[in-house]
């Protein structure tokens, strides 16, 4: 399970998360994308759906994974679990035993799972969701991400003992 986050909003985190998943699914891996961004619901918007039941509904015991996950998106080897239509305190739900149990299940059933998590400086979600992830990818956008914001995010992730396995540089113009 890999959590993908950024220091600021509008850096392309959801776009990169979806494309990482699609690339691995195309290569034959079984992939799950999980939208953990309750504020933006990026994957729901990016993939063109809305008001779907999702992760937050599962964590509130309103539905279960099997009836909520969208299987084989666009006839690929990629499944998607949308955020859901609930307005909730997501950080609290993502440190719950139910979330940890769900992540154990995900790790058994999928080769790769990507958590699309709110930008760090805006919420506590990355610390909550990231605590169940095997690693974190930090996305920065060329010409947009401020150095101070990136450094603050890295320091906060390190303080939370989250393993930053890499940085994605997004939005690079041709040279």
Predicted confidence band of residue 114 (pLDDT cuts 50, 70, 90): very high
pLDDT of residue 89: 65
What does the pLDDT look like over 139-158, one tens digit per residue?
999 999 989 989 988 888 88
User: What is the CB neighbour count within 10 angstroms for residue 28?
Assistant: 9
Question: Looking at the chain, how many residues does it have?
Answer: 175
92: Cβ contacts below 8 Å, ≥ 6 apart? 128
The answer to whether 138 and 145 are in contact (CB under 8 A) is no
Q: Rounded to two decimals, what is the model's pTM?
A: 0.89
Token representation of residue 143: 């010409």
Distance from C-alpha of 144 to C-alpha of 8, rounded to nearest angstrom: 9
Q: Give the residues across from 79 on adjacent strands.
A: 32
Q: What is the CA 131 to chain-centroid distance, rounded? A: 13
Position 86 pLDDT exceeds 70: no
Which of 86, 79, 90 is closest to 37 using CA atoms? 90
């Amino acid at each position: 399970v890999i959590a993908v986050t950024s220091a600021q909003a509008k850096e392309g985190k959801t776009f990169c998360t979806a494309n990482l998943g699609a690339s691995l699914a195309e290569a034959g891996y079984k992939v799950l994308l999980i939208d953990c961004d309750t504020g933006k619901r990026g994957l729901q918007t990016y993939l063109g759906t809305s008001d779907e039941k999702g992760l937050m509904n599962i964590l509130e015991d309103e539905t279960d994974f099997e009836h909520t996950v969208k299987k084989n998106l666009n006839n690929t080897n990629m499944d998607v679990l949308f955020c859901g239509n609930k307005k909730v305190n997501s950080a609290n739900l993502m440190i719950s035993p139910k979330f940890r149990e769900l992540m154990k299940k995900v790790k058994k059933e999928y080769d790769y799972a990507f958590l699309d998590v709110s930008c760090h400086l805006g919420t506590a979600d990355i610390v909550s969701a990231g605590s169940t992830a095997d690693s974190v990818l930090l996305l920065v956008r060329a010409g947009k991400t401020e150095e101070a914001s990136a450094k603050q995010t890295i320091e906060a992730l390190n303080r939370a003992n989250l393993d930053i396995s890499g940085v994605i540089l997004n939005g690079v113009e041709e040279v």
